[in-house]
Each structure stands twice: as C-alpha cells, then as structure tokens.
Amino acid sequence: MGLTSQTTVYVMAAWAAGCVGLMVWLWPRLAKPGLRSVLGRLAVIGVTQVAIVAAFSAAVNSSYEFFGSWSELFGNADTAPVALTNPQEQNGGVTGISSVSGSLIQPGGNQQLSRVSGLPSGPAAQNGRVESVRVIGRRTGVVDQAFVYLPAQYFQKAYARQRFPVIVALSGYPGSVYNLAQYLRVSQTAGELQSRGEMQPTIMVMIRPTIAPPRDTECVDVPGGPQTETFLAKDLPDALKSVYRVGHDASAWGVMGYSSGGSCSLQLTMRNPNVYTTAAALSPDYRVKDDPTTGNLFGSGPKRQARINGHDLMWRLKHLPAPQVSVLVANSKHGERGYGQTLAFVRAVRAPMRVVSILPNSGSHNFPTWVREMPAALKWMNQQLTFPQDVVPRHHPNAVTTAHPKGGRSRVRAGASVPARTSGGR
C-alpha cells in the first residue's frame, strides 16, 4: 500500500471516520467526574484529531506528491544506485534492455509520470517526449528522480548531431517532479511555445532539490550533511551531458523554479556562473536561514558566518563582484510578502549582471500565479540562452545510435547510454 495510492487515502479516511464514531459512542461513558474520565476524554480527542489530520495529509500528499514513499516520509529514502541499463534497437524501435556500465542516467519509475495530463503522445519526432529517469550523483552519491522533456527536433534527422540548450526546473519544498509536470506544467508550456515558434527547441529537466527528504536543505552543501549544491551544480549537469545531446557551454544552461526552488535557482546561478548563466525565480527568497525544516545548514565554528553570507544574495551583491549572469524575478504586489524584497534585489543588481522582473499587481503564493508567469519567464530565458554551436562527432568508437521514429537514425553523444522510453500522457 503505497503512500500516494488511493487505497492509503481511503484507509486513512475510514480510520478517521471510525475514530469520530468511537468518540461519539464513548463520550457519555467518559462524562463522569474524576481524573480517569478526564484523561479518557483527552485521549479520545487526541486520537481523533491525529486521525483526521493524517487522513487530510494523506489526501493532499496523494494529489501533490510531496513525498513519494513511506521511506521518504520517514527520511529513509533509497540512495543506492540501481542496475545500469541501455535500450536496444529491434525492428526500428526501442524494445529491449540490457546491462551496460557507467551510466549516470537510468530509467525511472513511470507511476508519477502516468498521472500527469497533457504530456506529448504519438511520434516523438512530431510531438517530443517526456522521460522518467533517475539521476545518479557521481560526487554526492545522491539518486534523485527527474522528468526530462525532449523536443520534437531532438528526434528529427536534421538535428541528429545537434546539441540543445537546457533549462532545469526546480520544485519548491517539499515539492516533487510531479508538481512541476502536473501543476506548473513545465513541459506542456515549453512544448506549446516551441510549437508556435516562440521558443527555440530546448530540453527541460524537472527535478526536486529535496535530496534528503524530509529535510529542506535549501540547495546548500551542508557541512557533514547533504551536498545539494554540488549535486545540482556538478552532478546533474555531468549526468545529463553523459547521456543527452545537450550543450557543454554554460551559455546554453539555465535554471528556474518556484518558491524555495526559485530561491535555489538564483543561488545556483549567482554562485556558479560557469554552470548556469540564466535563472528565473518565481516568488523566491534572497537569503538562506535555518528553520525547523532545515536544521543547521551552515555548521559551526569560525566559517559559519562566511557560509551564511555566501548564501545571502543581498550580501553578495553588496560585497562581491557581480557575476555575468541574467536573472528574472517574479513577485506579486498584493498577495505575496516578498514584493519589497524583490524590489530591493532589483535595485541592488549591477553590471555585468542583468535583471528583469515580473511584478503583477495581485497574485498569491500558489500554482495559478506561477502558471500565469511561466510563459513570459520561459520566453525570456529562451532569449538569453544560446543554441549550442557544437555538434556530436559523426564518427566515434563509443557513439550510440537509436532508431529514428521515421526510419532515420539519430546519434547520441559519445559514450552515452539511452534511458528507457517512458512516454506519458492521457
């Protein structure tokens, strides 16, 4: 009985209803005076409240996929690499899997992806494709799920040796890749913009920055703890470059996110301008601080304050050279509390860093607001990212080829393995 399954929701709801009924039945017996009766009333009230909250939480988690499994909920998520696989070509299609070694991208489960509406279906060369994969962190040992949207051009013969720009989309906390696909509609919006010629063909990578659930690490390399920044700034790009035809220069890489994912996108870009040169942050914060969900992010000792300052973007703008990056920040004047901070951030930016803003008059800290801002953010990012000029070598001893949906062949970069096809859509 999985954490996100409807069976779990129904069981929790039945348990809550049973507790309410039991409380009503027991209450007359517990109405007598005396310490035992008082303690009994407190006990049944407490158990009933816990049951109701648990049922409500299970229903919300099933809809939004904050935690994908019981192990994640209790902080015991599996981080061990799984078997390495590679699709084989049979009769013009990808139909078999055999073991290979060295892959940092592996096929992921299709359970969440199958629940996402509006994903591309049909021939990939016409509509593109979304794959569910697991990203293996070579340095950190982290294993994190991701959805990868590949545009139609990725599968077309004319682009067989072409690399593509990349936008990494980050969820908020606790968040999930399901939220990015279903509620923020990252791949659907990008696909629509690209089909209308308003956005160049771009690979969209949807991933959550919560690599050590349920802890919120705020994209920080925690001393003696989770190395989130290293995973997102080094492991993730390396893994994607090892499998997909993506640009190798930072000018082809951008990162975006909402809420704490937006904060993370700014942090990654300003702290790692040699990896990401463009960021779009929807409703971000501009400094990282400890709270009950994060624990101690910066350690102790004489270097603690330096670590705190390094993740305070306003401090960085005041005391450090401005990085040569472009960022977009979005916050609503009425309905969100970060509007004043956003204005202060915009005023603090100086060359060679560039900033633009989306400042609607009203909007709350929720998906409807971020969905409204998504098209403008993606089109702006599209204008900043360069379409890679480098191409995959035509002949290479370790090159891998995959069958083209229309009978042609597209060449994947040298040394790559291809994730299993997991197209979603309803």
Give per-residue pLDDT as tens, 165-202. Answer: 999 999 999 889 999 999 999 999 999 999 999 999 99
Q: In this predicted structure, what is the pLDDT of residue 5?
A: 65
385 three-class SS? coil
Which amino acid makes up residue 303? K
- Helix, coil or strand: residue 137: coil
Q: Is the pLDDT of residue 89 over 70?
A: no
Give the mean model confidence (pLDDT) for residues 128-147.
95
**Average pLDDT rounded to a whole number, residues 405-414:** 33
Look at 410 and 281; give whichever has higher pLDDT: 281
pLDDT the model gives residue 74? 59
Cα angle 85, 88, 89; round to 5: 160
pLDDT over 90 percentage in the chain: 63
Mean predicted confidence (pLDDT) in 161-168: 95
Phi, psi of 222 (to 5 degrees): -75, 125
Residue pair 129/120 in contact by the 8 Å Cβ criterion: yes
Residue 77: its pLDDT value, please?
A: 47
Residue 383: band (very low, low, confident or very high) from pLDDT cuts 50, 70, 90: very high
Neighbouring-strand partners of residue 207: 146, 170
pLDDT band for position 119 (cuts 50, 70, 90): very high
Tokens 């913009």 correspond to what residue?
193
Q: What pLDDT score was predicted for residue 103?
A: 87
Mean pLDDT computed over every residue of the chain: 83
pLDDT of residue 76: 52
- Does the pLDDT at position 379 exceed 80? yes
Q: What is the pLDDT of residue 249?
A: 94
Which pLDDT tens digit goes with each residue over 286-295?
Answer: 999 999 999 9
Please give the CATH number for the structural domain made up of 87-384.
3.40.50.1820
DSSP single-letter state for residue 118: S
Report the distance separating Cα 89 and Cα 403, nearest Å: 6
